[in-house]
Amino acid sequence: MQDRPDAARLLAWQVEMGADEATGTVPRDRFVARPARPIASASASTSGTVPPRPAARTATVAPAIEAHSALLAAARQLAESACDLAELKRIVERFDGCSLKKTATNTVFADGQPGAPIMLIGEAPGADEDRLGRPFVGRSGQLLDRMLATIGVERATNAYITNALFWRPPGNRKPTPEETAICLPFVWRHIALGRPKVVILCGGTATSALLGRPEGITRLRGRWIDLAVPGVLEAVPVLPTYHPSFLLRSPSHKSESWRDLLSIQSKLDGL
């Protein structure tokens, strides 16, 4: 009988700790050893008696793939319906199929002279481009302008500049393959309607999106490639080169970009 006050204090302590509800009507001795759980034998696991794991991802992945395919089809149809660059810009600005648009401030379509002989395609807008709604207006854009000026090219007169994506990825992160793919139909139409003599792909994202080659930018840089563009009868000469933002981080590669500039000048003179 002397242990009852201790039991009462223990019960009060349990109530204070939150154990204020009984989970069963029969007390359970926790000090009694529990029987071991049977372990399935190898023969049972291979004989088909063990139930398979539920396909938890199947129910969510399949609709996501279908939704993305539907968005791609809609993007292609909208892009092909554009008859000129002005209409294509309006279509892109109204398009809501890319998730990046939800976090972007502006749609960054293009800058420069429409119909110019040289078209430059960058990767995606940065913070300055997103704020102003124009491509290549930050530090990398200023470097690009200086580079082009050395071969007599200016965006105000004989250059047209755009990106592989029209909206800034949050934090300037790398675009996902899905984000790049959903913008690609508009990029193809952009080239077809702009009708440039040459296209310069600035950086790995633009190069990978349009060429679909396994090689990286370091291997493809400086190599002219004839690109088949939907809606254009003749292949368009394309030159991958380093993105100006990469040159700002790695100025030792500027000599390679200088050789690319001379190659662009020579190509334009021969057309």
| Tens-digit pLDDT profile for residues 99-124 | 999 999 999 999 999 999 999 999 99
Check pLDDT > 50 for residue 134. yes
CA atoms within 13 A on the CB side of 224: 15
| Tens-digit pLDDT profile for residues 14-42 | 666 555 555 555 666 656 555 555 554 44
Check pLDDT > 70 for residue 77. yes
pTM for the whole structure: 0.76
Tell me, what's the pLDDT at 66?
Answer: 74
Outline where 137-176 has alpha helix (H). Answer: 139-149
Tell me, what's the pLDDT at 68?
Answer: 79
Tell me, what's the pLDDT at 136?
Answer: 97
Residue 240 · residue 198 · CB < 8 Å: no
Distance CA 161, CA 159 (A): 7
Q: Which domains does the chain have, with CATH numbers?
A: 64-270 (3.40.470.10)
Check pLDDT > 90 for residue 63. no
Tell me, what's the pLDDT at 29?
Answer: 63
Tell me, what's the pLDDT at 262?
Answer: 97
Q: Pick the residue with more confidence: 247 or 13?
A: 247
Distance CA 102, CA 97 (A): 10
Distances (CA, A) of 174 to 126, 151, 220, 248: 11, 30, 19, 17
Distances (CA, A) of 6 to 3, 14, 229: 5, 12, 86
